[in-house]
Amino acid sequence: MRLMTLTRLSLLTILALLMLAVNPQANATDTGVRASEFKLSNGMDVVVIPDHRAPVVTHMVWYRVGAADEKRGSSGIAHFLEHLMFKSTDKIPVGEFSKIVGRLGGQDNAFTGQDATAYFQRVAKDRLGTMMEMEADRMVNLRLDEKEVLTERDVILEERRSRIDNNPAALLNEQMNAALYLNDPYGVPVIGWYHEMQKLSRQDALTFYKHYYAPNNAILIVSGDVTADEVKKLAEATYGKIPANPDISPVRHRPTDPPAIAPRRLELKDPRAGNFSLQRYYIVPSYVTAKPGEAEALDLLMKIAGSGSTSRLYKKLVVASKLASSAGGDYSGSGLDGGDISLYAVAADGVPLPKVEAAIDEVLADIAKNGVTDAELARAKSSFLADYIYESDNQATLARRYGWSLAVGRTVADVESWPDAISKVTADDVKKVAAQYFDLRLSVTGYLVPDQTGVAQSEEDLPPPSSDSVLR
């Protein structure tokens, strides 16, 4: 979004949303939530999720394109374009988009991930038609002025400083991803590498825009005080008038990783690190790439192993052995190319990181060898189902839940059969995925170490790098 980029840090959100993607049908009588879907004649997908409690709607358009679709060498262009989409069209003067939405009593924003880019407004329901007109207009009529583009490029560089360069933990995260993915574009940060962002141009943005922004590459999601019939009528009159782009391939091609044969390890020493901490990431399947039932088992595995103060990691490392002041982990299964597991711990005072790491490995090995208890599994399952009901209190959350799934090619039916799939997972399934996927060859481990001797470098002071081989 203009205020927030979904670097993969926000996969946490995605995870949360996926976790909540429980079958509305199973709870239809309880919650009144149930999505309906249809397609416009130009190929645009539409999902409607009614919630009539308040006279407001959430209107979102999702494009099936994200940072991982960028051309090599222009990292950050997906997110940069997202910012530029707020500039102007023939009908909307420069910088007026958000102001118009504001005058209509609405709130708007957008966000970019590795696999999707989404734009949204929250408005009173009688403004929905206007929002659709404006969103449909900028889907194809974006106008970019050279000077505006350069100014906005400075803004995303500041955004990068705020989110990444000012924060050693974020820098380590970026380095770890780059090491984890040998060839898959997930190794490149959503916001982009600084030296490539500096060179992004108006033409780069327009080329990306013209190729990827079209109704047949988009999903409309409307939740709130509205019916499917109302949405259909408005959508046909706005988005429905835009011709499809025949050049868009329905299949998204991504470079894939070769088999990994060596665990990767990194250590970042930074004077700005407040604590000794460590992280571990594993590449695992996502809901898109997993065999049936596997992703659900991974969800439950990480709920039990790493979620909150009742988790195995917290109980062993923080409560029992007191080696860490905090510890946990989770599974992110929303990616098109694959998913990941991440684990973390902050060392207790004076405890060396290798000792903490060994304790984490012991917890993982124990689950892989001895599995989880029936009580743990039951608690984890009921917790997922409860989350769903809680989240049906929030129409914006619901809209995102469907959006993330559909943007990577999953269907409304996939989303709505999730609770069934979760309930079918056995303790044996959980043990099996633990044994299979806690595989160090597919992992990266990173230490963040406070260092008083190092000097933080300011990227604005660095000479421009001569190649893109900064990290690898």
Partner 1 sequence: MHSFFCRIAAASKVASRSALAVTVAALSLILTISTSNPAAAMNIQKIKTPGGIEAWLVEEHSVPMMALRYAFDGGSSQDPVGKEGVANFLTAMMDEGAGDLKSEDYQERMEELAMRMQYEDSKDAIYGSFETLSVNRDKAVELLKLSVQSPRFDTDAVVRIRQQLLANLAYADKDPDKVAQREWYAQAFAGHPYARSSNGTMTTVSSITHDDLAAYHKRTFARDNLKIVAVGDITPAELGKLVDDVFGGLPAKADLIPVTKTQPLTGGGQQVIEMGVPQSVAVFGLGAMPRKDPDFLTAFVVNHILGGGGFSAKLMEEVREKRGLAYSVYTYLQPYQHTSIMLGSVATKNSAMAESLDIIRKELKKMADEGPTADDLAAAKSYLTGSYALRFDTDLKIAAQLLGLMQEGFGPEYVENRNKLIDAVTLEDAKRVAARLLKPDNLIVTIVGKPLGLKSARPATVQPAMAVPGRG
Binding to partner 1, residues 2-31 (CB under 8 A): 2-3, 7-12, 30-31
User: Checking DSSP bridges between strand 264-270 and strand 443-450, what pairing results, if any?
Assistant: parallel
Residue 250, both tokens: 């329905």
Pairwise CA distance, residues 205 & 210, whole Å: 9
Residue 126 or residue 247: which is nearer to partner 1 going by CB? 126
Q: Which residues of 238-275 are buried (b: 16+ CB within 10 A; e: fewer)?
A: bbbebeebeebeeebeeeebeebeeebebebebeebee
Binding residue for partner 1 (CB under 8 A) from 71, 72, 73, 95? 95
Q: Is 465 in the site for partner 1 (CB under 8 A)?
A: no
What x/- string results for residues 216 through 245 when contact with partner 1 is judged by CB under 8 A? --------x---------------------
Binding residue for partner 1 (CB under 8 A) from 28, 54, 365, 470? 54
Binding to partner 1, residues 390-419 (CB under 8 A): 390, 392-395
Binding residue for partner 1 (CB under 8 A) from 201, 310, 423, 436? 310
Residue 455, both tokens: 């000097």
Binding residue for partner 1 (CB under 8 A) from 120, 209, 212, 344? 344
3-state secondary structure of 292: coil
82 noted as active-site residue:
yes
> What's the min distance (Å) between Cβ of 17 and partner 1?
14
> What's the min distance (Å) between Cβ of 213 and partner 1?
21
Binding to partner 1, residues 102-131 (CB under 8 A): 102-107, 122-124
Q: Is 426 in the site for partner 1 (CB under 8 A)?
A: no
Binding residue for partner 1 (CB under 8 A) from 199, 322, 369, 441? 322
Q: Is 296 in the site for partner 1 (CB under 8 A)?
A: no
Cβ proximity of 340 and 348 under 8 Å: no
Please pick, among 37, 70, 82, 459, the residue that the annotation labels catalytic: 82
Q: How far is CA 88 from the centre of its chain?
A: 27
Q: What residues does 60 pair with on adjacent strands?
A: 120, 221
Q: Is 185 in the site for partner 1 (CB under 8 A)?
A: no
Pairwise CA distance, residues 341 & 184, whole Å: 16
Pairwise CA distance, residues 275 & 349, whole Å: 9
Binding residue for partner 1 (CB under 8 A) from 158, 362, 420, 428? 158
User: Shortest CA distance to 344 belongs to which of 305, 301, 370?
Assistant: 305
Q: Tokens 């009614």 correspond to what residue?
A: 50
Tell me which residues are annotated as active site.
Answer: 82
